[in-house]
Chain A
């Protein structure tokens, strides 16, 4: 069974927008892959005029929030970098136990890569203007720029959600049989990597080709 990979469109986000953007994307993907019985829950974003759907599982919501907190901590320590969150779905296959190892093999059948370029724009411009006669309010300019960026980000986020729906629709054959579980029916993991990591690109390639070893590079 092959592993389908989806590279989502890169988003340029500010630090305060990271949480909402990540929650929106992760929950949307999870909703489409939580094929057990769910009671969908609509959630409105605060910073954007977008409504996404959660599968209503409190435990998984908590797990996602923890990962997002971890990611935000990392971003705050290393701002202005490109980061990647990988949401992987896998099947557990028990390998035959040997004398020294009792490995549980994970077979990844789908991986989603969320690409975020976290930026931190200056809040206000410097005071001097090239045209002293023209009074320019730096606060208004910054606010307008922020609004323009946010509008563009909202549009991009909407494109990402459409991209998820399109991918989910196009690729269905690789999805394993649904176990008789409520809510999230397939095990998954969320890993975080950034461009500062030395093995950033190699790790991504490695995971794409890998079929055995579990990877935790967070």
Chain B
């Protein structure tokens, strides 16, 4: 009986995971490329539907969803800036218009196991096989349905890489939900998949969705052409001491999510446990949190200004982050579970959990609230705020990405789920803050972030630029400083009078029309050349043979005498003294050789005369 229940529980757990995976993969844009050539992992073979890497946050589903009787509710939320006009959807009671954007639940998915008190007696050997087979069919139809509902178009627009959108899609996964109002219900339709009978209940999936999204005017426009910004801070063409323009500073101080979250009437239930969100709210106890600036206007504007940089930045971070992150996630892949894929005529039975008694672990009453943020994707406006109700929030490693590079402990932490995403605006603004070595830094920090924030939901694996990045602008500066010192041709590193003189000389010789940045580059090159020339000039002369040495010695001696007579004394350095000593030793050896040869000749003559 325990064996059968274990199988049932295993199927149920994987069913929930696969359902959430399908829903989020079809609604939340992901920058994670799915390679069709890659071997299907064991965990991905469940229900014979290979979807690719599962979001790492789903690995923690067992952690916060202890009671399998509780439904899992996934809200798909449309985030949009309300129009300036007074009329429009922003006045609809369905939206929680806070600040400068509105949020509308366009889909609500409910995945659950409906437990029944009485079950018809069935052969235990057949029941879980049939359940598994029917679950396969159910999940196939769920996968197809995701593409037929209206929200799929919005998802495709967001996922399009060559389009910028004036909206965003977020999600919220929880075990509870705020009921829809009557007005909302009138605008929505409902569809329930036929439940699948299981040993202890029925696997059920249902959806309440907005049938018509046309009034949201989900616009997507082609992206702006790459704009080359020549005067960003840190560029060799600009003054290194250039300050931020006031517009960027204003953006950094946009309305924080904290206030929005706190004032939102719908935020109260969000603070309850058993939920993770994509950053719709912030914890109460984090007033000092960085203003992540979730305003869509912010993202759009910043993207327009520094589209070229942010594109490169975002893409590089994404590319660097994805493999690193999913390697970390997959390392903790299905610790006990194994999907049924054994060769058998019937659906392969799932392996039973042999390590420990899963029953007791499942029905633990307490559960830690977990906040799993939603990753930021490309150009879409996203906003994430940490859930302060997460007690494990403080267990995260320190913020600086440089020092968390090898912090592997946070990777597999089941509580490592703090919403630490930063909107694209802040990231792009930082990227315009003087990142001469941005490419290397971004990739390095991206890997740090991926290793650190493995708890973040990664279905839409955008660059994770959470708190560490937003608060580590100083660390960025430190990085730059260190890199400056490590680079041999930067002017600041060559702190000698000669290099300074050469630099001044080169500056005088250089073009007056060239900018200071170009001159600084030239300075570094000229400085190096000048240093080399100086070294050659001040190097002691080479003394190749004794004759030349002797003549040179005599010459130098005469010079020194003359110099001494004239009162002019040449400065002597250690190198000179060593050279002279070397010359003396060579002379000595030469003399010894000569004397030795004379002695030998004299000896041989004596011998011959005596013989």
Binding site for B on A (CB under 8 A): 28, 31-32, 35-42, 49-53, 56, 158, 161-162, 164-165, 168-170, 172, 175, 177-180
Decide if A165 touches B137 in the complex (CB within 8 Å): no
* B133 and A177 form a contact (CB under 8 A): yes
Q: Determine whether B136 belongs to the interface, using a CB cutoff of 8 Å to chain A.
A: yes
Within 8 Å CB of B347, what residues of A?
177-178
A28 to B342, CA, bound (A): 27
CB pair A40–B143 under 8 Å, yes or no, is yes
Assess A170 versus B194: contact at CB under 8 Å? Given A31-B140, A32-B144, A39-B36: yes
Give CA–CA (A193, B181) in the complex, Å: 51
Q: Could you say which residues of chain A place their CB within 8 Å of the CB of B140?
A: 31-32, 35, 168
Add 20 more A-B contacts to A168-B140, A178-B347 (CB < 8 A).
A32-B137, A37-B341, A39-B36, A39-B40, A39-B50, A40-B50, A40-B51, A49-B153, A50-B148, A51-B147, A53-B147, A162-B148, A165-B148, A169-B138, A172-B194, A177-B345, A177-B346, A177-B347, A178-B346, A180-B343
Please determine whether B144 and A31 come into contact, CB atoms closer than 8 angstroms: yes
Q: CB distance B148 to A35 under 8 Å?
A: no
Q: How far is the CA of A37 from the CA of B48 in the complex (A)?
A: 4
B176 within 8 A of A: no
Residues of B within 8 A of A32 (CB): 137, 140-141, 144
**A168 and B141 contacting across the interface, CB-CB below 8 Å:** yes
Nearest A residue to B156 by beta-carbon distance?
A51
Q: How far is the CB of B88 from chain A (nearest CB, A)?
A: 25
Q: Are A180 and B194 in contact (CB under 8 A)?
A: no
**In the docked arrangement, what's the CA distance between A169 and B141, Å?**
7
Q: Identify which of B48, B136, B138, B193 gathers the most chain A CB atoms within 10 Å of its CB.
A: B48
Check if B145 is an interface residue, CB within 8 A of chain A. Answer: yes
Interface residues of B in 127-142 (CB under 8 A from A): 129, 133-134, 136-138, 140-141
CA distance A54 to B11 in the complex (A): 25
Asked whether A51 lies within 8 Å of B152 as measured between CB atoms, the reply is: yes
Complex contact A35–B50 (CB within 8 A): no
Q: Tally the A-B contacts, defined by beta carbons under 8 Å.
A: 85
- Inter-chain contacts of B144 with A (CB < 8 A): 28, 31-32, 52-53, 161, 164-165
| Bound Cα distance A158, B133 (Å) | 26
Q: How far is the CB of A111 from chain B (nearest CB, A)?
A: 17
Q: Which residues of A contact B148 (CB under 8 A)?
A: 50, 158, 161-162, 165
* A52 in contact with B147 (CB, 8 Å): yes
A50 CA to B144 CA, complexed, in Å: 11
Q: Is the CB of A165 within 8 A of B141?
A: yes
Cβ–Cβ contact B143 & A53, under 8 A: yes
Instruction: Report how far A40 CA is from B140 CA in the complex, Å.
Output: 9
Can you sample 26 A-B contacts with CB below 8 Å?
A31-B143, A32-B140, A32-B141, A35-B137, A35-B140, A36-B48, A39-B40, A40-B49, A40-B143, A51-B147, A51-B152, A53-B143, A158-B148, A168-B137, A168-B140, A168-B141, A169-B137, A169-B141, A170-B194, A172-B133, A177-B345, A178-B48, A180-B341, A180-B343, A180-B345, A180-B348
- Minimum C-beta distance from A3 to chain B (A): 17
Q: Count chain B CB atoms within 10 A of each CB in A31, A39, A56, A158 and give the residue with the most.
A: A39
Chain A residues within an 8 Å CB radius of B343: 180
